[in-house]
Amino acid sequence: MSAVLEVTNIKKNFGGISAVDGVSFDVREGEILGLIGPNGCGKSTLFNCILGQLTPSSGEVKLDGKTVTGLRPSELNKLGVSRTFQLLQVFPKLSVRENLILAGQEHQGNMASRLVGRSDAGLTGAADQMIGFFKLDHLAAEPAGGLSYGQQKLLDAAMAFMGGPRLVLLDEPAGGVNPSMLADLKDRLVAINREKNATFVVIEHNMEFVMSLCSRVMVMAEGKVLAMGRPDEVRKNPAVIEAYLGH
């Protein structure tokens, strides 16, 4: 299996603090990689460095073997890298359907065709399919801001898939989502992973969710990689138990 994403020795300093301190790993095509670690260990900062929201102090990010370090988030997204956010990030005044059309429209045509072409960029069908897939049918025309927290979380995930991404980085998708909805979310993620051969990196604190979803798990502590391996290996690792899981 070839690597979709290769991260080499990424460092990010904020003043005197190294939030990410020389992290290297790769993500294989089609896998679901879990990323766990204590609060403040640099998981989200690492995501932001990979996704171009932050510029790393040093190091390199490669997508399909090509260096993409320092590209803007919108450029990376057009190359097939998508994400969800830890805190809710939807467009509250747009309807659920409009949120999804927006999430896909920049992948259709160019600036000129988006100005003169169809107002939905031909995406109403695809949006409604995604709405059905995430079981949001009855809410399609509602403003996203009126949805419950868990529903917005689902919408956030659905939006990340509208552009047909190769690689999706999910930042705490399970946070604040109730158990039955969480089971749904997991089903959806697994289905997309299998059917579309999409590759995922998932930050999550819900151990059950991570251990059952991911094929490999990477553990971070204090800006460094502490362990990397199959879920059952990582769970038994004394250093991981000490730093994160607890006795």
Give contact residues for another protein (rule: CB under 8 A). 51, 53, 72-74, 77-78, 82-83, 85, 89-94, 98, 101-103, 105-108, 111, 114-117, 119-121, 159, 162-163
Rank residues 169 and 219 by Cβ distance to another protein and give the closer one: 169
Q: Round to whole Å and give the CA distance between 247 and 207.
A: 14
Residues 6+ apart with CB under 8 A from 159: 84, 90, 99, 100, 102, 103
Residue 44 Cβ, how far from another protein at the closest point, in Å? Answer: 13
3-state helix/strand/coil string of 125-156: HHHHHHHHHCCCHHHCCCEHHHCCHHHHHHHH
Q: Round to whole Å and give the CA distance between 143 and 147.
A: 7
Rank residues 64 and 222 by Cβ distance to another protein and give the closer one: 64
Residue 77 Cβ, how far from another protein at the closest point, in Å? Answer: 4
Rank residues 40 and 164 by Cβ distance to another protein and give the closer one: 164
Rank residues 152 and 193 by Cβ distance to another protein and give the closer one: 152
Q: Round to whole Å and give the CA distance between 154 and 49.
A: 24
Rank residues 1 and 116 by Cβ distance to another protein and give the closer one: 116
Q: Which helix (H) or strand (E) holds 74?
A: helix 73-78
Residue 133 Cβ, how far from another protein at the closest point, in Å? Answer: 18
Torsion of CA 21, 22, 28, 29, to 10 degrees: 80
Residue 15 Cβ, how far from another protein at the closest point, in Å? Answer: 21
Residue 41 Cβ, how far from another protein at the closest point, in Å? Answer: 22
Q: For the purposes of burial, counting CB atoms within 10 Å of the CB of 12, is it exposed (0-12), middle (13-18) or buried (19 or more)?
A: buried
